[in-house]
A = this chain, B = another copy of it.
Amino acid sequence: MTAHKPTTSAELATETEVALERAVTSHRHHALFSMRASKIKQSAVRDVFDISLRPGLVSLAGGNPFLQSLPLEKIGGMAYKLVTEHGLTALQYGGGQGIEKLRVQICEVMAEEGITDADPDNVVVTVGSQSAQDVACKVFCNPGDTVLCENPTYVGALNTFEAYEVNVEAVPMDEHGLIPEELKRRIDEVRAAGSSIKFLYTIPNFNNPSGITLAAERREEVVRICREANILVIEDNPYGLLRFDGHPIPPLRAGHPSDVIYMGSFSKILAPGLRLGWALVPAHLQRRFYLASEAVTLCPPTLNQLLVSEYLEGHDWRGQITTYRDLYAERCAAMLAALEEFMPPEVSWTRPEGGFFIWVTLPEGVDTYPLLYQAIDAGVVFIPGAAFTPSDKPSNRLRLAFSAVAADRIREGVRRLAPVIADAIAAG
């Protein structure tokens, strides 16, 4: 990395993409690619995945949950019992919608946040909520359709949307989340331009990457605007139960069973390596959603479903969430304190009420993409802000994750990052 340091996002993109594209475009099979294939790109998060593993480096890049607090002995025992005593079921094919008992339990998990009317028949278990996003695109999106999202939004969702050749339109947020007036204005603009809008994709709690939460008083209005425009709401809520203090704000889905497809995940409240998430789908959309999911994976992994079911039944999962909450609250506080201590005065950041991420804003005109390589030389990794928007423009923002790193390492990471940022500001 030190040998050749590109200095702009454009150059960085060029470096890897061009070489790989050249190998492909010269082959006679190039003519066989679908139109969508060229739109599927490596995400910035994955770009730094391997780098993040270098010893000595402080990774504030990946949003990995901290699994050390899990009851591994107990979960291991459950896995043993499932395979030895129920292996003929646990290792066999299951139904495409997911195991019924788990779907009932998923309704209990959602009730913790305020969705009290969920019917297990309308729950579709998926291979992570990533897979649920893919299925939603499959069911609703034609090429050229528009999907609305927050600016910024989850990079994995952007990758999924791009694979369906949709037009992704980002709606501005402020410190209270998505701005309803901007949502309305964007809907009118897109429609005036002749594109069909299929859904709004939103992460209302502790948005990835911004950490911002959609204010309770805006939630009704967001759903109302979408309903009146006949646009579905896809509510992606993997972090909702990881609120540091106080009661959760009811999800958009809570009062609106017909207007919202709610997506949940066990990745943040239990373990991402099991790859289990779910969608709670309006009853009239359930069949199409479930069949599309089945066409992709046949069925979610049975052993994993039974293991999560056993965990929910046999362990104090609510207590485990409290443990996670306290841990992440402490780490978030450590990161906020370090930012306060080390960052130059021109830099600002969000103050999340939960989740995994803080969103850092540099002065206008400073591109955070080339800073990544200087940061790696300084011993710290982050994700440049450009990854989280559908536009190709440089971004003066970056995402820091506090979930996976101990408090003292978070402080060290921020301490290493600060002079890189200060130099960039001075140079700009």
Give chain A's interface residues, CB within 8 Å of chain B.
20, 23-24, 27-29, 31-37, 40-43, 46, 49, 62, 64-65, 67-68, 70, 72-73, 75-77, 79-84, 87-96, 127-128, 130-131, 134, 138-142, 145, 156, 159-160, 162-163, 198-199, 230-232, 267, 271-275, 282, 284-285, 287-288, 291-292, 294-304
Contacts and interface: CB of A to CB of B under 8 A. Distances in A.
| Copies of this chain in the oligomer | 2
Given A40-B288, A163-B138, A70 B87 contact: yes
A410 to B, nearest CB: 18
A297 B126 CA distance: 9
B296 A131 contact: yes
A83 B88 contact: no
Contact of A140 (B34, B272, B304): B34
A317 to B, nearest CB: 14
Nearest to A284: B27
A232 B34 CA distance: 13
A223 to B, nearest CB: 14
A111 B95 CA distance: 33
Contacts of A96: 46
Contacts of A92: 64-65, 67, 271-273
A83 B93 contact: no
Contacts of A162: 295
A66 B274 CA distance: 24
Contact of A198 (B32, B73, B298, B301): B32
Given A79-B83, A93-B273, A275-B301, 20 more contacts: A32-B140, A32-B231, A36-B138, A36-B142, A40-B139, A40-B291, A41-B291, A43-B294, A46-B96, A67-B88, A67-B91, A67-B92, A68-B88, A73-B84, A76-B82, A77-B80, A92-B271, A127-B131, A159-B295, A275-B299
11 contacts: A34-B138, A34-B139, A35-B142, A49-B95, A76-B84, A92-B273, A127-B131, A127-B275, A130-B297, A134-B297, A304-B304
Given A37-B139, A70-B87, A88-B68, A296 B130 contact: yes
Nearest to A137: B34
Contacts of A275: 127, 297-302
Nearest to A291: B40
Nearest to A305: B273
A79 B304 CA distance: 11
Given A64-B93, A83-B79, A139-B37, A301 B301 contact: yes
B273 A42 contact: no
A386 to B, nearest CB: 18
Given A284-B23, A287-B20, A292 B163 contact: yes
A134 B91 contact: no
A54 to B, nearest CB: 15
